[in-house]
Amino acid sequence: MKKILVINGPNINMLGIRETSIYGGGTYQDLCDYIKKEAQELQVEVELKQSNYEGEIVTFIQDAYKKVDGIVINPAAYTHYSIAILDALKAVSIPTIEVHLSDIHSREEFRHHSVTAAACVEQISGLGFEGYALALKKIAE
Ligand code: DQA
């Protein structure tokens, strides 16, 4: 059975409270439950991690080396400036898909560019929770 690590960055644990007109009303717990349900259907094992700290996210990625078949990551705000997360993803070279709940390309200009996408095989943006399911499916295949 394939093992996929799902990492969510800062403020994703605030879903349901933060800017619901952008991110929707579902909570972080709802997101975790949704991902687990999708993983079960796809018959993959998932591990879910969330952190508000850049260094901790780097450690999650390093610890995944040779332990998982793929990573699904929403680096949240770090997407736009974290060279440390980019380097960690490059270091482990685990197939990674970047996911964003909102469509970063149609929001403020500073969100248009992703630093971390350069280490990812694909970016899925603007599909809400479904983006995670799609990413899991792509890695499972
Ligand atoms: C986000 C988009 C980022 O620009 C933002 O900083 C987030 C969430 C998204 O999922 O749409 O925190 O990654």
* pLDDT tens-digit readout, 43-94: 999 999 999 999 999 999 999 999 999 999 999 999 999 999 999 999 999 9
Please name the residue that has the structure tokens 């996408």: 117
**What are the helix (H) ranges across 5-129?**
20-23, 28-42, 54-63, 83-92
- The predicted pLDDT at position 130 comes to 98
**Which residue, among 60, 9, 65, 68, has the nearest Cα to 39 in the 3D structure?**
68
pTM of the predicted model as reported, rounded to 2 decimal places: 0.98
Centre of ligand 1 from the C-alpha of residue 69, in Å: 24
- The predicted pLDDT at position 54 comes to 99
Question: Mean of the pLDDT values across residues 102-111?
Answer: 98
Q: Please report the domains of the chain, with CATH numbers, ordered by start residue.
A: 3-140 (3.40.50.9100)
pLDDT tens-digit readout, 8-24: 999 999 999 999 999 99
Query: In a 10 Å sphere around its CB, with 0-12 CB exposed, 13-18 middle and 19+ buried, how is residue 112 labelled?
Result: exposed
Of the pLDDT bands very low, low, confident and very high (cuts 50, 70, 90), residue 30 is: very high
- The predicted pLDDT at position 85 comes to 99
How many angstroms separate the CA atoms of 60 and 55, rounded? Answer: 9
Element of type H or E holding 99 = strand 96-100
Q: Which protein residues touch ligand 1 with a CB less than 6 Å away? A: 11, 74, 76-77, 79, 100-102, 104, 111
Q: How far is CA 109 from CA 9, 76, 80, 113, in A?
A: 20, 15, 11, 8
